[in-house]
């Protein structure tokens, strides 16, 4: 398997949470029971919210890729 950086791994984790939340909500739409709404809101909503918050967390605490701490666009040539 290919090696992923720290940011790539975090983005993959947040995408996995989002997709699993969407799958749970899609399956709940096919399930015609009263408990389906509870699962839709509880489990599906939790997975989607966790994916969004983990994505925002990974953006907030992303490490700088520059060697001297400056962003890539501001380095002199």
3 within some domain: no
Q: Which domain holds residue 28?
A: 23-62
27 within some domain: yes
Q: Is 75 exposed, middle or buried (0-12, 13-18, 19+ CB in 10 A)?
A: exposed
Q: Which two tokens stand for residue 7?
A: 């940011």
**What pLDDT, on a 0 to 100 scale, did the predictor assign at position 50?**
96
**What pLDDT, on a 0 to 100 scale, did the predictor assign at position 62?**
78
41 within some domain: yes
Q: Per residue in 18-72, pLDDT tens?
A: 999 999 999 988 988 889 889 889 999 999 999 999 999 998 887 655 445 555 5
38 within some domain: yes
| 9, pLDDT greater than 70 | yes
55 within some domain: yes
69 within some domain: no
Number of domains in the chain: 1
What is the pTM (predicted TM-score) of this model? Answer: 0.71
| 17, pLDDT greater than 90 | yes
């Amino acid at each position: 398997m290919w090696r992923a950086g720290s940011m790539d791994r975090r983005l993959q984790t947040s995408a996995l949470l989002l997709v699993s939340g969407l799958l749970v909500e899609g399956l709940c739409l096919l399930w015609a029971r009263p408990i389906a709404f509870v699962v839709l809101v509880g489990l599906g909503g939790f997975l989607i919210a966790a994916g969004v918050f983990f994505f925002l967390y990974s953006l907030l605490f992303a490490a700088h890729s520059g060697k001297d701490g400056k962003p890539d666009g501001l380095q002199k040539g």
